[in-house]
Amino acid sequence: MELYSVLKDEFKKVAGRIMDEHIAIVSARTLKAKEAIGTPERDDFPLLKGKEVMIEAIFRDAKGHTFTDMPGQFEGTLRDIIELPLKNNFQRALFIASLNAVMRFFGFIEGTVHCKDKEPSFCARRLVETVRERFGSPRIAFIGFQPAMIEQLSGHFPIRIIDLDEDNIGKKKFNLLVEGPDATDEVLSWCDIILATGSTCVNGTITKFIGTKPVIFYGVSIAGVAKVCRFERYCPYGH
């Protein structure tokens, strides 16, 4: 819970005196798949298969996106958001999406809205070069199932995948076995670097991947958290 306490403290600083003003309304809604990701070149993204959804928080004219498996609707003040107990994925998703929107509004971060159409494929191809330039030929622990990235990386690096989706666990994707969370410790011992989905800050597993090996979090969900905690983030096509 320590991480979320840090995030709440930072949120309070950013929100300042406007936490209770009428204009400081945050609304959140679940996006349809096409709204969130457009029409990508492939159809196996979790968003398109209904395994995860994207929620969008709006603060004034700024938007913040985050993935979650527990969507819902919300409208309230920044204080309402900050006082959420963050006991489940829905509350954490509201908090993280709102943090992204508010930090975006005040100019602290960019890329809080998910990329669309051909951009996810461009992003995956660019990731290969990013990893090679930074780390050479590392063994990669890939946390989460992002098919475009996995397919591109698997052609260049040793890679093992950890996912929470029971429909993926135990199956082969791109000739790689998708392993479940019980294999996390062993995979982290094996790898040189970690590429982890930013939605780990929503499902509460993020602390497992901090402080052991070099870690890069990918995606829009982690935008605000990465800024506050100085985590490395990869999201070159976020809007």
Convert 72-92 to b/e letters by CB count within 10 Å (16 or more is b).
Answer: eebebbbebbbebebeebbbb
Note the pLDDT of residue 69.
83
- Is 45 domain-assigned? yes
Residue 125 and residue 184 in one domain: yes
Q: Which helix (H) or strand (E) holds 6?
A: helix 2-15
pLDDT tens digits along 192-226: 999 999 999 999 999 999 988 999 999 999 999 99
Query: Model's pTM, two decimal places?
Result: 0.88
> Domain check: are 84 and 6 in the same one?
yes
* Paired tokens of 74: 């919300």
Domain hosting residue 39, numbered range: 2-105
Same-domain check for residues 98 and 139: no
